[in-house]
Structure 1
Amino acid sequence: MAAARRGGTSSVLSSLPLQMLLYVNGVYYIFYFLATLMMIVYKSQVFSYPDDFLAPDLVVLFVMAILEVPRLYLGSKGNLTEEEAPLGLSLVLTLGSVVLAVYFLAWQTYVLRADVILNALLLSTYGLESGLKVMAIAAFVS
């Protein structure tokens, strides 16, 4: 504020829509994780779920959850501090999360309609978030 009064320009480059989407995505991911975990348990009880595939599905879900924490943290930190490096690293981690979400959408043992809906919504938020990250990085660099 003092710089603006003295004639200097002070501009905020961080993205409010990106910050809001990171928050919403964090809340949604908690729901996604619990719903996917419950569906894996449901599928293992109702369907003839091969034991060889139950463990990998659970491992992928937990790896995805572990990946989500630094992805959201670095995205938020990079946006708020207007630094390209953490935001870029968050973008790379988002690509990893996209691959794991596609696994649950197309390659897991049983794919229910609920899986399709949950993963389509997650992938949509990842896509929107990635676009906003790219725009924020471009604003920070210029």
Structure 2
Amino acid sequence: MIIYKSKCFSYPDSNLALDLGLLFLMVILEFVRLYLGTMGNLTEEELPLGSSLLLTIGNVFLSIYFLVWETYILRADLIINGILLVLYGLEAILEIFTIATFFR
């Protein structure tokens, strides 16, 4: 989407750099979050799952940025980020239940 927006709209260079930087940060956090969540679930340890939960919160804030404060917001952005926020919420609830189960 950001490539499409940079080609079709006059994107200020500083805003494009900020949006791309935050997008790459979100991708890196997502990979680490998924890795920690998978490892915590497979090994049944609370620490990786808790770390994954914290990274989920970080990604929620980045998703809200792309939903509200991005330079150009298209309808597709609203749909994609809305679905992403719902999935993050479900994942956070499931991670909390899983951590509570591992504590027992």
Structures share fold, TM-score greater than 0.5 = yes
TM-score (normalizing by structure 2): 0.96
Q: CA deviation at 1:48?
A: 2.0
Distance 2:74 2:23 in 1: 16
Give the corresponding residue for 2:81.
119
In the alignment, does 2:8 pair up with 1:67? no
Runs of 5+ in structure 1 lacking a partner?
A: 1-38
Counterpart of 2:2 in structure 1 is 40
**Structure 2: 5+ residue runs without aligned partners?**
none
Q: 1: CA distance between counterparts of 2:5 and 2:51? A: 35
* Superposed CA RMSD: 0.8
TM superposition outliers: structure 1 runs of 4+ over 4 Å: none
Q: Which moved more, 1:58-67 or 1:41-50?
A: 41-50
Residue identity in the other structure for 1:89: S
Q: Distance in 1 between matches of 2:50 and 2:14?
A: 36
TM-score by length of 1: 0.71
Among 13, 17, 22, the residue aligned to 1:51 = 13
Q: Taking every aligned residue pair, what percent have the same amino acid on both sides?
A: 62
Matched, 1:128 2:93: no
Task: Give yes or no for the alignment of 1:89 onto 2:51.
Answer: yes
Distance apart, 1:43 and its partner CA: 1.4
